[in-house]
């Protein structure tokens, strides 16, 4: 079987739902900026060379519906020959898109493709515009429809993840992200055109501007986090400060076969070694990475100790902490705290600080991970996330020389 290479991987900034820079920017325009940035950063490869665009989206409807994969190919002015499709695995949708394109390349079905992720949570609400759970099934087993926040509370309660542990994790996520912004670490970000509406002379007019940073980073203190009220249960421990931000964003990766890499004379970032998913109880869906990561490592013939960089989505601090406990890494605080130069876990902050734009996240983390591997010279990196409904996904990447 052939190998599949991540040649270039980029993302837009992640901006706060409803209050951030992308609140009035259509999702198609976010992904258009990401795709154009991707191609601009890959000299020698033209849009006509891309055979297919697969877009992951958690709620593929309304402005991000109508098969956004094909629609965006047209909006971004790829030729008619560039096909497109949409895939949904909730929080892993963006990674699923990248993995499916890689598998097509490995199977010999194509040579040049794009895997992407997209979510405008400002424009298309979580749950979609008209959620309709099956009534009898909702009575029989409501867990699959359960609020993600309540599943995070379940994880905290069942596995003794205290409020103090969660707030500490949230504090370091914000601190790492603030440090990374100050140091200019987010080189995978492409400046993105956004819109806003302002009043001039009594008339509301549309303006465009360029957004080039994540606008949800909020450095804080442990004391400040401790003052926040529980968000999902009156006596709970999950708060806005130890949960992921809901955000808007897009990300994409250009994926090639070995033959295409040689043909176009490009130097790839990394190759996808394995991708897998694993199921778990729906009412504690956050523990998914604790199942998916060991499965992926076994498939790759690797151990936890072999991994030099981790990007595990911080949907909630409780589930992230539990997952790293199961890997034997949480107790080694030097691997994840903000004041350690030995950290390898969510090194520039996670979704608590940078946001979790649902269907985009898997593609976003790929951009952060692969570019981070190149910067640090790390041979193996792992990306993982929990998935609503009771799943986890994980992928192992290997740095290219």
Digit-by-digit pLDDT tens for the chain (401 residues) are 899 999 999 999 999 999 999 999 999 999 999 999 999 999 999 999 999 999 999 999 999 999 999 999 999 999 999 999 999 999 999 999 999 999 999 999 999 999 999 999 999 999 999 999 999 999 998 999 999 999 999 999 999 999 999 999 999 999 999 999 999 999 999 999 999 999 988 899 999 999 999 999 999 999 999 999 999 999 999 999 999 999 999 999 999 999 999 999 999 999 999 999 999 999 999 999 999 999 999 999 999 999 999 999 999 999 999 999 999 999 999 999 999 999 999 999 999 999 999 999 999 999 999 999 999 999 999 999 999 999 999 999 999 98
The position carrying tokens 């990248």 is: 98
Q: Delimit the domains of the chain by residue range.
A: 4-126+243-396
How many residues does the structure list for the chain?
401
> Model's pTM, two decimal places?
0.97
Cα distance between residue 92 and residue 33, in whole Å: 21
Q: Looking at the annotation, which residues are catalytic? A: 91, 356, 386
Nearest to 391 by CA among 286, 316, 321: 286
* 104-109, Cβ contacts within 8 angstroms, sequence gap of 24 or more: 104/52, 105/2, 105/4, 105/255, 105/256, 105/257, 106/1, 106/2, 106/3, 106/4, 107/1, 107/2, 108/2, 108/257
Domain 4-126+243-396 sits in CATH at: 3.40.47.10
Cβ pair 95, 82 in contact under 8 A: no
């Amino acid at each position: 079987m052939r190998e599949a290479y991540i040649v270039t991987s980029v993302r837009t900034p992640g901006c706060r739902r409803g209050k951030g820079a992308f609140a009035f920017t259509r999702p198609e325009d976010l992904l258009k900026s990401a795709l154009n940035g991707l191609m601009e950063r890959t000299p020698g490869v033209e849009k006509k060379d891309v055979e297919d665009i697969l877009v992951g989206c958690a709620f593929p409807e309304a402005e991000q519906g109508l098969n956004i994969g094909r629609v965006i190919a047209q909006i971004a002015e790829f030729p008619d020959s560039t096909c497109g499709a949409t895939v949904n695995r909730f929080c892993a949708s963006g990674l699923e898109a990248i993995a499916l394109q890689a598998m097509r390349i490995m199977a010999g079905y194509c040579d040049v493709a794009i895997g992407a992720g997209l979510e405008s949570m400002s424009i298309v609400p979580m749950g979609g515009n008209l959620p309709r759970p099956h009534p009898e099934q909702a009575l029989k087993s409501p867990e699959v429809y359960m609020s993600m926040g309540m599943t995070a509370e379940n994880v905290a309660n069942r596995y003794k993840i205290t409020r103090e542990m969660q707030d500490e994790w949230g504090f370091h996520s914000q601190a790492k992200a603030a440090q990374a912004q100050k140091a200019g670490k987010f080189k995978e970000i492409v400046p993105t055109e956004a819109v806003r509406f302002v009043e001039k002379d009594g008339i509301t007019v549309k303006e465009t501007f360029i957004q080039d940073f994540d606008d949800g980073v909020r450095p804080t203190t442990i004391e400040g986090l401790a003052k926040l009220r529980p968000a999902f249960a009156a006596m709970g421990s999950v708060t806005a400060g130890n949960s992921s931000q809901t955000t808007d964003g897009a990300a994409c990766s250009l994926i090639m076969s070995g033959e295409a890499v040689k043909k176009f004379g490009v130097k790839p970032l990394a190759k996808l070694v394995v991708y897998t998913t694993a199921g778990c109880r729906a009412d504690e869906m956050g523990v998914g990475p604790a199942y998916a990561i060991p499965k992926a490592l076994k498939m790759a013939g690797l151990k936890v100790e072999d991994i030099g960089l981790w990007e595990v989505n911080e949907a909630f601090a409780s589930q992230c902490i539990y997952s790293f406990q199961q890997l034997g890494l949480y107790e080694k605080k030097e691997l994840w705290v903000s004041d350690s130069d030995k950290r390898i876990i969510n090194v520039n902050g996670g979704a608590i600080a940078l946001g979790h734009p649902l269907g985009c996240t898997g593609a976003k983390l790929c951009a952060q991970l692969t570019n981070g591997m190149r910067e640090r010279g790390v041979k193996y990196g792992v990306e993982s996330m929990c998935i609503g409904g009771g799943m986890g996904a994980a992928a192992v990447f290997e740095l290219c020389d």
